[in-house]
Amino acid sequence: MENSFKIIVGFLLALFVVNCSTKKDAFLNRNYHSVSTKYNVLYNGHEALRIGLEQLNANYEDNYWERLPIEPLKVDELAMPGMQADADSSPQEFEKAEEKAVKAVQKHSMFIAREERNKQIDDAYLLLGKSRYYSKRFVPALEAFNYVILNYPKADLINETKIWQAKTQVRLQNEEQAIRSLRILLKDKSLKSKIKEDAHTVIAMAYLSLDSLQYVINHLNKAVKTHNNKEQSARNLFILGQLYNEKGLKDSSNIAFQKVIDFKKAPYKYKIHAQLEKAKNSTNKMDTKETLMVLKKLVKDRDNRPFLDELYYRIGIIEQERNTDNAIGYYNKSLRSKSKNKLQKELSYEALGNLYFDKAQFMVAGAYYDSILNITNSENTKRVRRLVRNRNNLNEVILYEKSSTVNDSILKVVAMSKEEQNDFFNAHIKKLKANQEKQISKTTVQKGSFNPNFGKADVGENSGKWYFYNIQAVGFGEIEFRKTWGNRPLSDNWRLGDKSQLNITNIQNLDQNIVQTGEQEKLELSYYLNQIPTDKVAIDSIVNERNTAYFKLGIIYKEQFKELDLAKEKFEKLIDFNPDLTLLIPAKYHLYKIYESQGNEKAIALKSDIVTNYATSKYAKIVLNPNQALEEADKNAAETEYATIYYDYEAEKFETVIEKTTLAIGKYMGEPIVAKLELLKAYAVGKTQGLVNFKEALEMVALNYPNTEEAKKALEVIEIIKLKL
C-alpha cells in the first residue's frame, strides 16, 4: 500500500514537471502556462496597473481655464531610456506591473518553432509597454509595442497594441508616423467600435500636437459617436466645445457642452464645468439672465460645494457688467469658499484687484495683487509676470498715498488747540477701552472662565439670585476686576504684581487678548500728547514731505495712469497748502494743462496767473511758447537726469526706468528732453511687456514728437517689429 502511494505521487510529480516545461508543445503544457500566466502573474500585473492609474488620476488636476489635453498625463520633458520619472508622477505600482509582465515572459513564454504557443504572452508585452508608458519611459514602451506587432501579428490584442504604439509615437513627437499607421488600421471594416473610438482619439492627439485644429475637431467628432470609454468620451466632448469656442463658433460650442451635460455616464466634473463654459458663452441680455438663474440654482445644490468658488466667480463676472457692488460680493464669496484650487483664488483676487484699479482705488488694488503674489506657484507665467508689473507700478502710488494720509493726520492734530487735542484723544481712548472690554467678554464666553450654572440645574441663562448664576453680572465683574488688577493667574498671593521673592520666574499661557505692557500706555492721554511735534523744524519737515507726496501723486495720476480727475484733486489741494515755489509753480502748470485738456474755463485764469506772477519761470515761457528752448542750466539738469535713468536701463532695471521716466516726463513737460525720455521709456516697455506694447509705445513717440530724431528712430524700429509680429 505504501509503495503504491509512492508510485502515484511520483507519477503526479513527473507529470507536473513535464507540463511545466516551456519547450514541449503539448496540450497540457500550453494550457498550464496559459492559465498560470493569465490568472496568476498577469492578473496581479493588471491590478497593479489599475491601482497606479487611480493614483495618477487622483494626483492630476485639470486646468479648465485652458484647453484640456486629450490624455490627462502631464509630461514635462521627453523621457529617454534609463530616465526614471519622479515617484509622485509615476506611482510604484507601475514598476510592479512591469515586473509581473517580465516574469510572465521569462517563466511562461513558449516560443517554439518560431511561433509563440502561449496566447497570453502578447498580453504580457502589452502590459509591459503600458507600465513603461505611464512611467513616462516612452522609448522602452515603444520597443515593447513594436515587439508584439512584429512577432505576434495574429494576436488577439494586435489592434489595441497598434493604438498604443501610435500613442507612444505621439509622445515621442513622431506624429506623422502615428497618423499614417492608424489610418491604415481604420481601413479595416471589421474593427470593433471601441478600437475605432480609441484610434480616432489618438489621431486627434497627433493633430493637436501639430496644431491642426480642424483635423482634431473632425476626429474627435468621429470618436464621440460611441461611448465605450465614458471618461474619455466626456473629455473629448468637452475639448470639442473648447475648440469650437476658440474658433468663435459659439453655437457649436454650446451644443458640445450641452452633450456633456446630457451625457448621463459622464463624470460630474465635466458636467459642472460644461455649465460654466456655457455661461462664458452668454452674449445677449436674455442669455445672461437665463445663465444667472442656472448658476444660482447650481449654487444651492449641496453636491456643488466643491465647485462653489468657480460658480461664484462666474456669477461675479456676469454681475460686473450690471452692478459692480454685487460683483465684489460674489468675488468675496468665491474667496471664502472652501477650496484647494489656488488658481481660482488667484483669479478671484485678480478680478477684485482689477475692479478696484478701474475705480482708481490703487491702494486697495495693490493689496489684492499682493494676495495673489503670496499664494501663487506660477511666478513664471505670463499672467503673473503682468501682475507683478502692474503691482510694481503701484509702489510709488501706495508709498505717497500713505505718506500724504499720515502727514495730513499729524498736521491736523498739530493745528488743534490743547482742548481739541484732549477731546480728540480721549474719544480715541474711550473707543479702545470699549473694544478691549468687548474682546474680554468674548474671550470669557469662549474659554468658559466662569460657569454660571455650576452646581445648579434649571437656571435661566441670565437669571438667578446668586451672583455666579447671572452671566451679565459675572461678565461685568470680570471686566471690573481686570481693570483694577490686570490679568492675574489663579495662584496664591495673586495680589502681588512682582512675585520674584516667591521664585515665580515664568507664567505660561496668559490670556493673550488682555492688555499687555505697552498696550496699557495707549490708554493714557499723555502717550498721545507727548508724540505731537511742537518743534518748528520738525513740523516744517512734515509739511514738506506731505507737499512732495501730493505733487508726485499728481504727476503719477496724470502721466502714468491718465486719471486726470485724481491728479487735479491732488494739485488743487497742494496749491491750497501754499507750498514752496519749487512745487507751487509746476503744480499750477500741470493743473493748467489738465484744465485745458478738459475744456475747463479755469485754465484761462491759471494761465494768466502763471504768466503774470511767475513770468521768469520756465513754465511761463512754455505756456507762452510751447516750443521755447530750455535755458542752458535747465538743459544740463535735464540731461543729467536722463543719463541717470539711462544707467538704470543699462543695469536692466526696466521697471525702475518706467517709473522714473514717467516722473521726469511730467517734470520736463514741453521740453526737448521729453522725446528722449519717451523713447527710453518705450524701450523699457519693450523689455518688460512684449512686442505689441513696445510697438504701441513707439507709435506714441512717433505721433507726439514728429520731426525729431527720436521719432525717426521709433519708426525704424516699428518697421522691424512688423516683420516679427
Question: What is the model's pLDDT at position 108?
Answer: 53
pLDDT value at 658 more than 50 = yes
Per-residue pLDDT of 503-522, as tens digits, reads: 333 333 433 443 444 567 78
* Claim to verify: residue 590 and residue 642 sit in the same structural domain: no
Domain identity same for 112 and 32? yes
Say if residue 601 is in the same domain as residue 666.
no
CATH number at residue 540: 1.25.40
Does 327 fall in a domain? no
Q: Which of 98-102, 428-432, 526-530, 697-701 has the lowest mean pLDDT?
A: 98-102
Give me the pLDDT at residue 161, please. Answer: 93
Say yes or no: 162 and 18 in one domain: yes
Domain of 668, CATH number, reads 1.25.40.10
Which pLDDT value is given to residue 29?
A: 53
For the stretch 383-431, pLDDT in tens is 888 888 778 778 888 888 888 999 999 999 999 999 998 899 889 888 8
600 and 703 in a single domain? The answer is no
Determine phi and psi for 178, rounding to 5 degrees. Answer: -65, -45
| Domain boundary, last residue among 138, 153, 173 | 173
Task: Please name which of 208, 213, 218, 210 lies closest in space to residue 186, comparing C-alpha atoms.
Answer: 218
Which of 210-224, 228-242, 540-554 bottoms out in mean pLDDT, i.e. has the lowest? Answer: 540-554
Asked whether residue 277 is domain-assigned, the answer is: no
Domain boundary residue, one of 624, 643, 667: 624
Least-confidence region, from 231-245, 282-296, 326-340:
282-296
- The pLDDT assigned to 503 comes to 39
- Contacts within 8 Å (CB) and 24+ apart, 594-600: 594/558, 594/564, 594/567, 594/568, 595/568, 597/564, 598/564
Residue at 369 is within a domain: no
DSSP string, 213-272: HHHHHHHHHHHTTS-SSHHHHHHHHHHHHHHHHHTT-HHHHHHHHHHHHH-TTS-HHHHH
Q: Are residues 42 and 119 in the same domain?
A: yes
Mean pLDDT of 112-125: 63
Query: Does 566 lie in the same domain as 696?
Result: no
Q: Is 579 domain-assigned?
A: yes
Residue 112 three-state SS: strand
Q: Same domain for 427 and 573?
A: no
Q: Which pLDDT belongs to residue 623?
A: 85
Give yes or no: residues 26 and 134 share one domain: yes
Given pLDDT bands bounded at 50, 70 and 90, which one contains residue 86?
very low
- 716 domain residue, yes or no: yes
Flag whether 262 is in a domain.
no
pLDDT digits (tens, 9 = 90+) for 236-267: 999 999 999 999 999 999 999 999 999 998 99
- Statement to judge: residues 80 and 127 lie in one domain: yes
Residue 199 has pLDDT above 90, yes or no: yes
Domain housing 691: 632-724
List of residues 6+ apart from 220 with CB closer than 8 A = 70, 200, 201, 204, 236, 239, 240, 243
- Nearest to residue 725, comparing CAs of 694, 680, 684, 685? 694
User: Pick from 584, 603, 624: which residue ends a domain?
Assistant: 624
Report yes or no on 93 lying in a domain: yes
In a domain? residue 110: yes
Nine-digit cell at 480? 471690573
Q: 59-73, 276-290, 530-544, 551-565 — which is least confidently predicted?
A: 276-290
Statement to judge: residues 424 and 540 lie in one domain? no
- For the chain, what is the domain count? 4
| CA–CA–CA angle 488, 491, 496 (5° rounding) | 55
Alpha helices in 265-381 (DSSP H): 268-280, 285-300, 308-320, 324-336, 342-358, 362-375
In DSSP terms, which residues pair with 523 in a beta bridge? Answer: none
Query: Do 592 and 603 touch, CB atoms closer than 8 A?
Result: yes
Average pLDDT, the chain: 80
d(CA 683, CA 82): 46
Judgement on whether residues 15 and 136 belong to the same structural domain of the protein: yes
Q: At what angle do helices 654-667 and 382-393 cross, to 10 degrees?
A: 40
